[in-house]
């Protein structure tokens, strides 16, 4: 039977340099009813926001079942490892499918018929990881399902009338994001690893809630001090970026993140609404987003100080519109530190490790539909007018009530 693999030519080349040969594409899945999550979530949304632990547990079990089935399939194909592991969540009408996909790989003269490792890194990234001195052990993830909560919504809505940070929202978002990081480190410890590298973070809407998911590869690096087996290093750098830093003697120490949630405020919303009709800078929005960014970066700086980092690199920033003139600013980066006995096996990376594969299938129908649905200028203007009008209506209602109550 021919091998049916998800590995590209560049991946196969890179894995060959590390002594591996391609194996079959392997898949595992698990399907649950969407109504189950919805009923659990709605029953647990109290006056307090934060994690909905029962939903987190249901999702965790679904992801674990899908991964276990993928691993069993890889064993049947005689693989020694699984690379490029993904753990997706797909909505099918009223059901949710947890889907795990990877490609098993083989090694000549292997002395075991068991899966020795699994990795979220694709073949090219795995080459970089191994050349940087990391021994892959296990695909790991950390997740948390959370809700703002009724109380958080009420308090947030009231506080959104005033300009500035909404600390209740900032606290909930900071706690949930750090909780996902804590859990992925816990999984790494369970597999005897001192590092989690190549972490990818996603935020998914789920039955009226949200899930924050981090996936990565639990690994072992001999140059790290023994204390890191108790508190593994974490990094969201790509494995290619990490190779470059380790080549210069720097080691990732910790993924750091900061969140700030800010409100434009009632007066600021009305002002910016009227200013949106004329050309020029909207000072209220400029200063608001600047303050939110500075606050998020301050959280990152504090995380970096706690882990005695020399630098924070690869910072990525995201702004989310939460509605009602409220925005969330999220910043993520990796704290690094200069360490002795740190370096790469090769002096330079091979070109095949950094060449990006090109998509050879283009669905023009979907591309056209996506383009018509994603017109940034039109959507932005519509949202601005809609939000501004809502704020103006609220202010007008307040003034009329005030007049009648005199």
Q: Inter-axis angle of helices 9-17 and 123-131, to 10 degrees?
A: 20
Domain membership of residue 350 (yes or no) is no
Whether pLDDT at 404 is above 90? no
| Residue of 284 and 149 predicted with greater confidence | 284
Quick one: pLDDT at residue 206? 75
pLDDT-derived band of residue 163, with 50, 70 and 90 as boundaries? low
Quick one: pLDDT at residue 270? 43
| Residue of 35 and 347 predicted with greater confidence | 347
| Both structure tokens of 284 | 């209220």
Whether pLDDT at 34 is above 80? no
- The kind and range of the H/E element at 228 are none
Whether pLDDT at 219 is above 60? yes
Whether pLDDT at 353 is above 80? yes
Q: What is the mean pLDDT of residues 218-231?
A: 95
Q: What is the mean pLDDT of residues 194-213?
A: 87
Q: How far apart are CA 56 and CA 384, in angstroms?
A: 35
Top mean-pLDDT range of 5-14, 51-60, 323-332? 5-14
Q: How far apart are CA 300 and CA 331, in angstroms?
A: 8
| Residue of 11 and 287 predicted with greater confidence | 11
Comparing C-alpha atoms, which of 74, 86, 80, 72 is closest to residue 120?
A: 86
Domain membership of residue 147 (yes or no) is yes
Query: Minimum mean pLDDT among 41-45, 169-173, 346-350: which range?
Result: 41-45
Mean per-residue pLDDT of the chain: 81
User: Cβ atoms within 10 A of the Cβ of 24, count?
Assistant: 21
Domain membership of residue 279 (yes or no) is yes
Domain membership of residue 353 (yes or no) is no
**Cα dist from 332 to 124, 136, 145, 212, whole Å:** 24, 24, 19, 13
pLDDT, tens only, 121-159: 999 999 999 999 999 999 999 999 887 654 445 444 544
- Residue 213 CB burial class (10 angstroms; 0-12, 13-18, ≥19): buried
**Cα dist from 12 to 74, 101, 119, 120, 346, whole Å:** 17, 17, 15, 16, 19
Domain membership of residue 365 (yes or no) is no
Quick one: pLDDT at residue 146? 81
Expressed as residue numbers, the domain containing 188 is 9-343+377-405
Domain membership of residue 296 (yes or no) is yes
Give me the number of domains the chain comprises: 1
pLDDT, tens only, 56-93: 888 999 999 999 999 999 999 999 999 999 999 888 88
Q: What is the mean pLDDT of residues 275-296?
A: 68
- Contact criterion met (CB below 8 Å) for 119 and 136: yes
Top mean-pLDDT range of 58-62, 190-194, 203-207, 375-379? 190-194
Quick one: pLDDT at residue 148? 63
Residue 215 neighbours by CB under 8 Å, 6+ apart: 85, 86, 87, 120, 139, 140, 141, 184, 199, 200
| Both structure tokens of 184 | 């992925």
| Both structure tokens of 2 | 């021919």
- Contact criterion met (CB below 8 Å) for 52 and 60: no
pLDDT-derived band of residue 312, with 50, 70 and 90 as boundaries? very high
Comparing C-alpha atoms, which of 67, 214, 65 is closest to residue 144?
A: 214
Top mean-pLDDT range of 64-68, 255-259, 391-395? 64-68
SS3 content of the chain, % helix, strand, coil (to 5): 45, 30, 25
Q: What is the mean pLDDT of residues 17-40?
A: 86
pLDDT-derived band of residue 391, with 50, 70 and 90 as boundaries? very low
Reported pTM: 0.80
Domain membership of residue 363 (yes or no) is no
Domain membership of residue 126 (yes or no) is yes
Whether pLDDT at 357 is above 70? yes
Quick one: pLDDT at residue 101? 97
| Residue of 299 and 194 predicted with greater confidence | 194
């Amino acid at each position: 039977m021919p091998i049916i693999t998800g590995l590209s030519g560049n991946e196969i080349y890179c894995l060959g340099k590390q002594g591996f040969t391609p194996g079959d594409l392997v898949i595992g899945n698990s399907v649950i009813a969407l109504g189950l999550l919805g009923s659990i979530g709605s029953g647990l949304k109290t006056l307090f926001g934060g994690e909905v632990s029962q939903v987190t547990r249901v999702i965790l079990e679904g992801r674990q079942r899908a991964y276990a089935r993928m691993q069993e399939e890889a064993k049947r194909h005689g693989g020694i490892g699984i690379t490029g592991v993904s753990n997706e969540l797909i909505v099918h009408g009223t059901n949710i499918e947890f889907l795990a996909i990877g490609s098993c790989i083989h090694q000549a003269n292997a002395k075991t018929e068991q899966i020795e490792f699994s990795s979220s890194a694709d073949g090219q990234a795995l080459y970089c990881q191994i050349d940087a001195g990391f021994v892959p052990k296990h695909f790991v993830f950390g997740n948390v399902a959370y809700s703002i909560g009724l109380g958080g919504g009420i308090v947030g809505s009231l506080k959104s009338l005033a300009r500035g940070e909404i600390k209740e929202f900032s606290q909930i978002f900071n706690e949930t994001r750090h909780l996902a990081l804590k859990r992925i480190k816990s999984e790494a410890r369970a597999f005897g690893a001192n590092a989690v590298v190549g972490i990818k973070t996603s935020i998914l809407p789920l039955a009226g809630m949200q899930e924050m998911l981090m996936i990565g590869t639990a690994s072992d690096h001999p140059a790290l001090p023994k204390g890191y087996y108790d508190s593994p290093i974490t990094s969201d750098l790509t494995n290619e970026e990490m190779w470059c830093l380790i080549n210069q003697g720097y080691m990732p120490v910790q993924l750091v993140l900061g969140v700030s949630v800010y409100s434009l405020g009632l007066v600021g919303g009305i002002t910016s609404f009227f200013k949106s009709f004329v050309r020029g800078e909207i000072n209220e929005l400029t200063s608001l987003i600047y303050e939110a960014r500075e606050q998020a970066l301050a959280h990152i700086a504090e995380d970096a100080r706690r882990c005695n980092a020399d630098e924070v690199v690869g910072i990525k920033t995201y702004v989310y519109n939460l509605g009602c003139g409220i925005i969330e600013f999220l910043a993520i980066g990796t704290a690094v530190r200069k360490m002795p006995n740190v370096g790469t096996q090769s002096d330079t990376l091979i070109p095949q490790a950094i060449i990006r594969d090109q998509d050879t299938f283009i669905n023009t129908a979907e591309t056209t539909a996506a383009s018509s649905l994603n017109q940034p200028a039109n959507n932005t203007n519509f949202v601005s007018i809609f939000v501004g009008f809502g704020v103006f209506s609220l202010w007008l209602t307040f003034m009329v009530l005030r007049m009648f109550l005199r």
